Amino acid sequence: MNDSVQTTPEERLESLADNLREQFEAKGCEISSALGEITMQVPREQLLETANQLHDDELFQFTQVIDVCGVDYANYGESEWVTKDASATGFGRGVDKKGLQAGESGADRFAVVYHLLSPSLNHRLRLKVFVETEHPIVDSVINVWNSADWFEREAFDMYGILFKGHPDLRRILTDYGFVGHPLRKDFPLSGHVEMRYDPEQQRVIYQPVSIPPRTQMPRVIRDDIRPLAQEPEE
């Protein structure tokens, strides 16, 4: 018979948040919880120390990293099209903050987000680290969570975020001649270059993109899309 005290998921979440605040708030970390999830924003220079403690401390035991991804907060919270019912409260636009414009300099445009799992304690945690816009670089966590290897390469490829100490930081989804980072907000929809097979040179070549840029957002609102009733013929 198990005599352990049963706790609800909400109580376990609150207990984890309290432990995180006790251990990390003095180090400049910000802990918040919403919708059953905890997010901890970590100062960039504290990342490795924080990651090691989260991994090794018996209170946390976050021995797995589920995902590492980049985020571009340019134009954060802004809608790209105007409709009658457009607002900043719907799913995918549920924010009030307006971030940097794409291409604008600032300290809070790019972030790296880590999703951690503690299998033994059944806890999950989201870490968020902001990096500099002009030189986005942060320490690699491979020595803490080895599975972060390809995740960090993807964030480098898609966002141009550098991971200091990564043993093999190179593109993983685009090819070596690709120009730019596709998931940045200021990356053109059609890209910078295109490739094709040249029959004369008998090889694949790159050339300036020939697709004209266009906005892929709906701008026409129709109240009723059903076809109009046909007038009876006389």
User: Which strands sit side by side in the sheet containing 110-118, from one edge to the other?
Assistant: 30-34, 37-41, 123-131, 110-118, 64-72
Examine the domain organization and report whether 113 and 35 are in the same domain. Answer: yes
pLDDT for residue 168: 94
pTM: 0.75
Examine the domain organization and report whether 48 and 138 are in the same domain. Answer: yes
Examine the domain organization and report whether 43 and 155 are in the same domain. Answer: yes
Examine the domain organization and report whether 129 and 65 are in the same domain. Answer: yes
Residue 226 maps to a domain: no
Examine the domain organization and report whether 68 and 25 are in the same domain. Answer: yes
Residue 146 maps to a domain: yes
- Structural domains counted in the chain: 2
Examine the domain organization and report whether 58 and 119 are in the same domain. Answer: yes
* Domain CATH code at residue 55: 3.30.460.80
Examine the domain organization and report whether 50 and 115 are in the same domain. Answer: yes
Residue 217 maps to a domain: no
Examine the domain organization and report whether 47 and 125 are in the same domain. Answer: yes
Cβ pair 204, 196 in contact under 8 A: yes
Question: Would you list the DSSP string of 51-115?
Answer: HHHHHH-TTT---EEEEEEEEE-TTTT--SS--TT--SSSTT-------PPTT---SSSEEEEEE
Examine the domain organization and report whether 168 and 180 are in the same domain. Answer: no
Question: Would you list the DSSP string of the chain?
Answer: ---SPP--HHHHHHHHHHHHHHHHGGGT-EEEEETTEEEEE--GGGHHHHHHHHHH-TTT---EEEEEEEEE-TTTT--SS--TT--SSSTT-------PPTT---SSSEEEEEEEEETTTTEEEEEEEEE-SSS-EEE--TTT-TTHHHHHHHHHHHH--EEET-TT---SSS-TT--S-TTSTTS-TT-SEEEEEETTTTEEEEEE--SPP---S-----S--SPPPPPPP-
pLDDT for residue 79: 57
Examine the domain organization and report whether 162 and 113 are in the same domain. Answer: yes
The count of other CB atoms within 10 Å of the CB of residue 139 is 20
Cβ pair 164, 138 in contact under 8 A: yes
pLDDT in tens, the chain (234 residues): 444 567 888 888 999 999 999 999 999 999 999 888 999 999 999 999 999 999 999 999 999 999 999 999 887 766 555 555 544 444 444 444 555 555 454 567 899 999 999 999 999 999 999 998 888 999 999 999 999 999 999 999 999 999 999 999 999 998 877 888 999 988 887 777 788 898 999 998 888 888 776 655 555 555 555 665 555 665
| CA dist., res. 72 & res. 99, Å (int) | 10
Examine the domain organization and report whether 135 and 68 are in the same domain. Answer: yes
Residue 47 maps to a domain: yes
Examine the domain organization and report whether 155 and 191 are in the same domain. Answer: no
- Which contacts of 56-60 are long-range, i.e. CB under 8 A and separated by 24 or more positions? 57/23, 59/19, 59/23, 60/16, 60/19, 60/20, 60/118, 60/121, 60/123, 60/125
Residue 161 maps to a domain: yes
Range of the domain at 44: 9-73+108-173
